[in-house]
Amino acid sequence: MLIDQINLADKPATENTMFFNKQNVKRVLICLHGFETRNIHDCVEFKEYFDEVNTNPNYEVDLFTFYDWGNNKTYKHKLFYEKCKNEVQKYYDKGYVVYILAYSFSASIGAKLCAEFPRIEKLVLVAPTTYLIRTKLLISYLKIAGKQIKFKLKYKAKAKKVLKRTKNDGLIKLFFAMTGTILSYRKFLKRLDGKVLMIKGAEDEFSINNTFSYVSYKAKNAVTISKIYPGHNHIMFMERDKAICAYKDVLYFIFHIENVESDILEESDQK
């Protein structure tokens, strides 16, 4: 860890409570993805934007992946969390300050990580999906699963080969894993402590305003900031041309990057 010790003898007595200058400490934002059916991370365009605007070598963005697409053995919600916990610990062992960005179903995991690692001071929830029945999330899962079952019944051996070749043969198991993640860990949202930024598109059918209200009301020890972007849906954050304002808001909230304009600037400063 790169920390410069302050010479207390040169400081007034009123300043002797400060022992270290944290200016050179490494800081990382670990980005957790949502439902991925490809080997491209949901936040890849966000990281590309970060790499373009960031000028501080101590700031990093890490694109974390819960499972290996096509490997059914990795589709387990407990394994998702353990793997992510190890990623956080890896950075702490290196002396980093760690922040979390959780997209879609991973919001619950982000909250549990904050409970297990109280040193995580900032959490970003992007289009958090915490309700299965009250949104179209569960219905969407069931429709896709139903189509796959019908396909298997109709084409049998041929269907099995196609699904394996396209890495979709474990899709139903993946749905169960994501559902298990939400149901098992969403309770940690009300235990959040620290600063929390919640953002979503106004047309998002899977992330509803009730989630924002729930976190703001229940997490009494957290400082929450929320923003809804008009005209955008659940996949807004995956597309740079649609999410550029959200990217700027996140980067200011996490790193206070000065060369990006954000209209949450005043609000977050006040908090």
**pLDDT tier at 268, thresholds 50, 70, 90:** very low
Q: Would you state the pLDDT for residue 222?
A: 92
**pLDDT tier at 3, thresholds 50, 70, 90:** very low
Q: What is the CATH number of the domain that holds 105?
A: 3.40.50.1820
**pLDDT tier at 9, thresholds 50, 70, 90:** very low
HSE-CB of 111 using CA atoms within 13 angstroms: 29
Domain count, the chain: 1
* pTM, entire model: 0.82
Reported as a single tens digit per residue, the pLDDT across 128-180 is 998 877 777 667 766 766 776 776 777 777 766 765 666 566 677 888 888 98
Higher pLDDT, 88 or 257: 88
**pLDDT tier at 37, thresholds 50, 70, 90:** low
Q: How many CB atoms lie within 10 A of CB 265?
A: 16
The residue range of the domain holding 224 is: 4-270
Burial class from Cβ neighbours inside 10 Å (0-12, 13-18, 19+) for residue 230 reads: exposed
| Spatial contact of 194 and 99, defined as CB atoms under 8 Å apart | no
Q: Would you state the pLDDT for residue 141?
A: 65
